[in-house]
Amino acid sequence: MQLLISVTNVQEAQMALAHQVDIIDLKDPATGALGALSFEVINEVVQYVQKQTQYLKPSVSATIGDTPMLPEMLVEKVERLQTTGVDYIKIGFFATDDYQPCLNALQPITRAGAKMIAVLFAENTYQPGLIEAIQRAGFVGVMLDTSNKNGQTLFNYYSTLALKEFAEKVMKNGMMLGFAGSLKAQDVVKLKSYHPTYLGFRGGVCDHFQRQSSLNSENIRLVQNAMAFCCIKPTN
């Protein structure tokens, strides 16, 4: 189970690196659930992570922003984000009547090697078969997040059974599984049983647990301690 932390600038990336997080995620909390940072900032952070030699290099992900499900617009933003050298590109699946045109438009990019992660939102109801369609389009992962950043978490929208079924479906289709959405350290143990590839944090590792505040080293440490505790195997 890996740790993803969303950062907004090089200074926060430095803190994430110092804590040896697995995935540094680039996002602007002030501009939406999946708000995009400027390409200047994304480039700056990616280059900093690639050049640093003090720590093991984490993966870097970034979002294209709160973008409508319009095929041409998605392709344009994805192709531009590819030029920054991020490892993973996150795409929010916002409300639309039919996701297939978008998946069809993105499939040639995934076939060319781009690693995309579909971000589904716990508040939304999605058509049956969407996760399978995402897999066929070449996405490498699916993440369940919240779009309304009002303090409510996945557990306000998904029952234990619903989370289990979601996780099993993603993993059955051979994709990475991620959970996020106003998570805090105490949520780690609740999500462990679903065997996620990674857990994503922003507000839960910020000052006063406010996602638009700065990262807080002690809150990051609390999350890491919770994750480490979950990995301890009981002895006989």
pLDDT at 234: 47
Do residues 19 and 221 lie in contact, with contact meaning Cβ atoms separated by under 8 Å?
Answer: yes
Q: Which residues contact 160 (CB under 8 A, 6 or more apart)?
A: none
| End-to-end C-alpha distance for the chain, whole angstroms | 24
Has residue 18 been placed in a domain?
A: yes
CA dihedral (122, 88, 27, 52) positive or negative: positive
Q: Which is it for strands 198-201 and 59-63: parallel, antiparallel or unpaired?
A: unpaired
Q: Is residue 32 part of a domain?
A: yes
- 134-178 pLDDT, tens digit per residue, is 999 999 999 999 998 887 899 999 999 999 999 999 999 999 999
Please tell me the total count of domains within the chain. Answer: 1
pLDDT for res 80: 97
- Asked if the structure places residue 79 within a domain, the reply is yes
236 in a structural domain: no
How far does CA 128 lie from the centroid of its chain? 22
**Is beta strand 198-201 parallel, antiparallel or unpaired with respect to 23-26?**
unpaired
pLDDT recorded at residue 235: 47
Which residues have C-beta within 8 Å of that of residue 222, sequence separation ≥ 6?
A: 185
pLDDT tens by residue, 49-80 = 999 988 999 999 999 999 999 999 999 999 99
Q: Reply yes or no on whether the pLDDT at 20 is more than 80.
A: yes
| Average pLDDT score over the chain | 95
Token pair recorded at residue 120? 């589904």
- Asked whether residue 34 is assigned to any structural domain, the reply reads yes
In which domain, by residue range, is 180 found? 2-231
Q: Which long-range contacts (CB under 8 A, 24 or more apart) does 41-47 make?
A: 41/8, 41/9, 41/10, 42/81, 42/84, 42/86, 43/84, 44/9, 44/10, 45/7, 45/9, 45/10, 45/13, 46/84, 46/85, 46/86
- The verdict on residue 14 lying in a domain is yes
Could you tell me the pLDDT band of residue 232, with boundaries at 50, 70 and 90? low
What percent of the chain lies above the pLDDT cut of 70? Answer: 97
Sign of CA dihedral 22, 28, 30, 35: negative
SS3 content of the chain, % helix, strand, coil (to 5): 45, 15, 40
Shortest CA distance to 216 belongs to which of 63, 19, 61? 19
pLDDT value for 146: 95
Separation between Cα atoms, residue 206 and residue 211, nearest integer Å: 6
Sign, CA dihedral 192-195-198-199, equals negative
Mean pLDDT, to the nearest integer, of 181-194? 94
Among all residues, which ones are annotated catalytic? 27, 90
CATH of the domain at 209: 3.20.20.380
